[in-house]
Amino acid sequence: MKILITHFYTRDNRGDAAILSALLLELNRVFGEQHISIVTMEDIDKRKTFEGYSTIKSLISQATLHKGRITRWFVMAYFIIIPLMWCMVYRLLKIKMNFLLTKDLYKLLNSISQSDLIILVGGGYLRGAGGLGDDINYLFIIYPILLEKLLNKTIVLHAQSIGPFGDRFQKFISGWVLKKVDLIITREEISTKLLENMQIPLAKIKRSVDAGFLFKTNIKTDLKKYGINSSRKKSVGITVARKWLNNKNLQHAYESEIAKFADYVISKKKLNVIFIPQVTSQLFDDDDRSVAKRIIVKMKEKSFVWGIEQEMSHYEIKSFYANMNYIVGTRFHSVIFSLTSYVPAVAIEYEHKTRGIMKDLDLTDWVIKLEDLTAERLIKKFDKLVLKQEEYIASLKAQIPSYIKDARGAVDTIKQVVLLKDN
């Protein structure tokens, strides 16, 4: 059987990389060794494989990353019209019009046509903010599903958060396309309810758990390797982000409040503060290190604070979190990595996946909405976290094992769908 995994962003987002690694292990556990390829936004000339599996350039990266302003519209039109024409002709006549295709588009469409099962990797990319530019990007995210269905492929969405949508167009096209897929596995109840409201058939919706909870590492991290050699024995790790606050004033306020919080932790709690770069992607200027640098500049306390500059794999960074005593995470997979290491965390919510998953674990009290974030609120929440640390850890030890077990059931459900279609 040939399996095509689509919609992978980049391994420079360690959460995405962990989700993909966990999915690959689960596919091998459930299906045995299969031919697997991965559709990604990464530069496949530089990164030809992911953990030994071949990579293919995604439609959105082929269509929307063209730099010429005028020619960009012609390029995007080409990547809408030609793939549709190719799929329709192949479906009706079994003729592959490969002479119409670029090298990367040829590789993508032929991989789709040869696949027996297509799995959209887990994540939260089926959402949008609204506006023409975002509508175009969202179209290229969801359009491949339509092409795959034209070729009568079995399509499964693995461990997803769906929405919110920025406008009626995004909601309409999502409902229209998602009704055609074979199975949608959601990772929290908010997305399940949204799909039900979109009138997606209940038989196609299955609740599961974020695949990041399945991710493990055997690596042991020495903090001294990263220049952290402190007289203080306890540390709080912080992850920050730029991507979710496009308004410069809001981003400035967010960074200022985090700086005030970090000052408090150093001066009053006598802890080390370590800014951990969960995402270091050049795509869309999505690099946590640049945000951390600006925050450190704003801080009054210049001792006992570190901004990690080194690149870490998702295996290394998972181990790094296990060395922390507390985590304050904007990047939610930094929170997941911490929770599975039994490190208490406060989550800063920028998407509903955060609140939905924390609610599943009875940890709603430890969530602050991004738009409500102030240093005062975060300090109050963190002080409570320190006070209830043992209680928090006991709760994790009670909840996490069963949650991981639920996550493992997702690929078993995928196999049931495949067997049902084969019969």
Identify the CATH number of the domain in which residue 369 sits: 3.40.50.2000
* Count of domains observed in the chain: 2
Q: Are residues 164 and 251 in the same domain?
A: no
Evaluate whether 198 touches 178 at the Cβ level (below 8 Å). Answer: yes
Q: Are residues 89 and 230 in the same domain?
A: no
pLDDT, the chain, mean: 94
With a pLDDT cut of 70, the percent of the chain lying above it is 97
Give yes or no for residue 68 having a pLDDT over 80.
no
Is residue 213 in some structural domain? no
CA distance 401 to 411: 18
Q: Span 181-193, mean pLDDT?
A: 96
Is residue 255 in some structural domain? yes
> pLDDT value at position 43?
93
Q: Which comes out higher in pLDDT, residue 345 or 66?
A: 345
Q: Span 104-112, mean pLDDT?
A: 98
Is residue 217 in some structural domain? no
Q: Span 112-123, mean pLDDT?
A: 97
The residue count of the chain comes to: 423
> pLDDT value at position 351?
82
Q: Which comes out higher in pLDDT, residue 69 or 130?
A: 130
Q: Are residues 227 and 202 in the same domain?
A: no
> pLDDT value at position 119?
98
Q: Are residues 313 and 177 in the same domain?
A: no
Evaluate whether 42 touches 74 at the Cβ level (below 8 Å). Answer: no
Q: Span 86-91, mean pLDDT?
A: 97
pLDDT band at 126 (very low <50, low <70, confident <90, very high): very high
Distances (CA, A) of 64 to 74, 83, 240, 283: 11, 15, 27, 12
Evaluate whether 374 touches 122 at the Cβ level (below 8 Å). Answer: no
DSSP 264: H
Beta strands in 137-234 (DSSP E): 154-162, 183-186, 205-207
Q: Are residues 182 and 251 in the same domain?
A: no
Give yes or no for residue 413 having a pLDDT over 90.
yes
Is residue 418 in some structural domain? no
Give yes or no for residue 118 having a pLDDT over 70.
yes
Q: What share of the chain is helix, strand, coil (3-state, %, to 5)?
A: 55, 15, 30
Give yes or no for residue 46 having a pLDDT over 80.
yes
- Tokens (6 digits) for 315: 């295996």
Give yes or no for residue 94 having a pLDDT over 70.
yes
Q: Are residues 38 and 140 in the same domain?
A: yes
Q: Are residues 130 and 6 in the same domain?
A: yes
- Quickly list DSSP for 105-152: HHHHHHHHHH-SEEEEPSEEEE----SHHHHHHHHHHHHHHHHHHHTT
Q: Span 138-153, mean pLDDT?
A: 96
Least confident of 7-11, 78-82, 126-130, 154-158: 126-130
Could you tell me the residue range of the domain that residue 67 belongs to?
2-207
Q: Are residues 163 and 102 in the same domain?
A: yes
Is residue 118 in some structural domain? yes
Q: Span 105-130, mean pLDDT?
A: 96
Is residue 423 in some structural domain? no
**How do residues 282-311 score in pLDDT, each as one tens digit?**
888 889 999 999 999 999 999 999 999 999
Q: Span 331-347, mean pLDDT?
A: 97
Q: Is 49 helix (H, G, I), strand (E, B) or coil?
A: strand
Give yes or no for residue 67 having a pLDDT over 90.
no
Q: Are residues 56 and 145 in the same domain?
A: yes
Q: Are residues 227 and 193 in the same domain?
A: no
Q: Span 411-419, mean pLDDT?
A: 95
Q: Span 32-50, mean pLDDT?
A: 95
Q: Are residues 316 and 362 in the same domain?
A: yes
Is residue 422 in some structural domain? no
Q: Are residues 133 and 249 in the same domain?
A: no
> pLDDT value at position 66?
66
**How do residues 345-388 score in pLDDT, each as one tens digit?**
999 998 888 989 999 999 999 999 988 999 999 999 999 999 99
Q: Give ∠ CA 279-12-1 in degrees, rounded to 5.
A: 130
CATH number (domain holding residue 189) = 3.40.50.11930
Is residue 412 in some structural domain? no
pLDDT band at 130 (very low <50, low <70, confident <90, very high): confident
> pLDDT value at position 156?
98
Q: Which comes out higher in pLDDT, residue 276 or 371?
A: 276
**How do residues 213-249 score in pLDDT, each as one tens digit?**
999 999 988 899 999 999 999 999 999 987 666 667 7
Least confident of 159-168, 230-239, 281-290, 316-325: 281-290
